[in-house]
Amino acid sequence: AALKTYNFDIQVKNVSRLCHAKPIVTVNGMFPGPTVYIREGDQLLVNVTNHAQYNVSIHWHGLKQYRNGWADGPAYITQCPIQTGNSYTYNITVTGQRGTLWWHAHILWLRATVYGAIVIMPKEVTPFPFPQPYSEASIVLGEWWHADVETVVKTANKLGLPPQSSDAHTINGKPGPLFPCSEKHTFALEVESGKAYLLRIVNAALNDELFFAIASHSMTVVEIDAVYTKPFTTQALLIAPGQTTSVLVKADQSPSRYFMAARPFMDAPIPVDNKTVTAILQYKGIPNTVLPTLPQLPAPNDTKFALNYNSKLRSLDSPQFPANVPLKVDRHLFYTIGLGQNMCPTCLNGTQLAASLNNITFVMPKVGLLQAHYYNIAGVFRTDFPDNPPTPFNYTGAPLTANLGTTLGTRLSKLAFNSTVELVLQDTNLLSVESHPFHLHGFNFFVVGSGIGNFDPKKDPAKFNLVDPPERNTVGVPTGGWTAIRFRADNPGVWFMHCHLELHTMWGLKMAFVVENGKLPEESILSPPKDLPPC
């Protein structure tokens, strides 16, 4: 195993998009930030030095950080932020994962500009379980605001309103020619006729699930969230914030220029957002004067496509990469997702939008939860997060009042070491139903089932896929529906779980698990690093 070192200098840089320059927070002055390349089994050291005016922390989205929450990064969950002028080294060992992940700032909305891809190459002795591509490229989808994002958020919060949606979507930081003034801010990928390419697609957008397609070219999905899948071919794909998808694309069309494009999947009535970001698949030798064609993307509200696409995702489940789905469940959890106005009577006198899990709106602590747990600091959090909602009701019926009123709290759920957990996430119809991409830190989970309407504990488990369900770290809970996941709580520590729509995280759609230590020393949380940032 090799040791890989990266230096991340958090610095403010003027960047111009849509004919408008503004200072943004960056890593090393780059937007998007650098791609981190590692090989499975490597040790990764990232020295982060903060020269911005904001306190920061960096999360390595999808890396399991076995026993090592100290390197996970969510501010006030596993560490206090790195203050201006200070540094912290994330010391990460990458085991049992290979594929595409990403890193991003995990405080405020700084991930709007502070993000980049992580590429984990397989061990040299274990090649890809699919044909070796000729070459590869990262396709990182993001969002861009004209105004300073932190100001946008602060202003909206003062008024008790949702912040305005972004002014553009981006591919590798570039909006593409369909946006005003963006001709020169267009990402182009040069390909050679007849060759196959591995595209590592990341959705780093703050608030939008996205459809993605390439004109005239089909894509073969081979890996999601750094787990190999049974390959399947598709004309378009759906990717939620936090998720990654690797596809093989063959340059097998007549040599020309083709648009790749992404646009939001928006099945909620508000906010309407249908901006299309484009980049170019450019065959070698074709002049830039050739006008590219646009791909067909599913309609913004094409829920059918979304359900169908997600149902095609399966773990590879080969002898070499078996899907170890927990068959027996030690702990059953059922969490309702609430979102709406006046849900939280104590938030801005009930005028602020709030979100909740089992009617609890999560309150961020002032010190890191992992530290509080490790050092037994009393009074920081409680471990009485309920396994079920306070009262069962018709979750997805007509707009509800039954779910009104949440309580504020820093409440965690305690899991025994190595116990197996089944969690059903149930969307509810309060203000309106909406799809929620849920992300669990510290683990991958198996998506064993999903459906529209209310989860039926008597009938639905019989239909679970316990053979080759997709294994991932972020899953979309369908609009007005439910998703069931299973995982083994074999990673001691404190692990955040939240909706990866930044807006919803901010409104409280989050909680954390405390996984207890096992009996053996090698089943316990590692000791904290000396340079862990103080609060």
List the one residue from 61, 67, 250, 263 that touches ligand C2O (CB under 6 A). 61
Nearest by Cα to 335 from 422, 409, 271, 408: 422
Residues 463-502 that bind ligand C2O (CB under 6 A): 496, 498, 500
Least distance CB 59 / ligand C2O (angstroms): 5
Interface with ligand C2O includes 76 (CB under 6 A)?
A: no
Least distance CB 62 / ligand C2O (angstroms): 8
Q: Which of the 8 DSSP states describes residue 296? A: P
Least distance CB 248 / ligand C2O (angstroms): 25
Interface with ligand C2O includes 445 (CB under 6 A)?
A: no
**Shorter beta-carbon distance to ligand C2O: residue 76 or 197:** 76
In the chain, % helix, strand, coil (3-state, to 5) comes to 10, 40, 50
Nearest by Cα to 202 from 253, 267, 143, 268: 143
Least distance CB 505 / ligand C2O (angstroms): 8
Residues 235-264 that bind ligand C2O (CB under 6 A): 242
Interface with ligand C2O includes 67 (CB under 6 A)?
A: no
In single-letter form, the type of residue at position 109 comes to W
Interface with ligand C2O includes 74 (CB under 6 A)?
A: yes
**Shorter beta-carbon distance to ligand C2O: residue 240 or 251:** 240
Least distance CB 472 / ligand C2O (angstroms): 12
369: phi then psi, degrees, rounded to nearest 5: -65, -35
State how far the Cα of 157 lies from the Cα of 161, in Å rounded to an integer.
6
Give the list of residues 6+ apart from residue 63 with CB closer than 8 angstroms, or none.
Answer: 72, 92, 94, 97, 101, 118
**Shorter beta-carbon distance to ligand C2O: residue 98 or 441:** 441
Least distance CB 530 / ligand C2O (angstroms): 25
- b/e map 415-442, b = 16+ CB within 10 Å: bebbbbbbbbbbbbbbbebbbbbbbbbb
In single-letter form, the type of residue at position 256 comes to S
424 conformational bin, left if phi > 0, alpha if psi -120 to 50, beta if neither: beta
Beta bridge partners of 107: none
Least distance CB 111 / ligand C2O (angstroms): 7
Beta pairing class for 43-50 and 3-17? parallel
**Shorter beta-carbon distance to ligand C2O: residue 61 or 250:** 61
Give the list of residues 6+ apart from residue 292 with CB closer than 8 angstroms, or none.
Answer: 215, 256, 257, 258, 259, 278, 280, 281
Interface with ligand C2O includes 441 (CB under 6 A)?
A: yes
Binding mask 95-114 for ligand C2O (x = CB under 6 A): ---------x-x--------
Least distance CB 307 / ligand C2O (angstroms): 24
Where along the sequence are the contacts to ligand C2O (CB under 6 A)?
A: 59, 61, 74, 104, 106, 242, 439, 441, 496, 498, 500
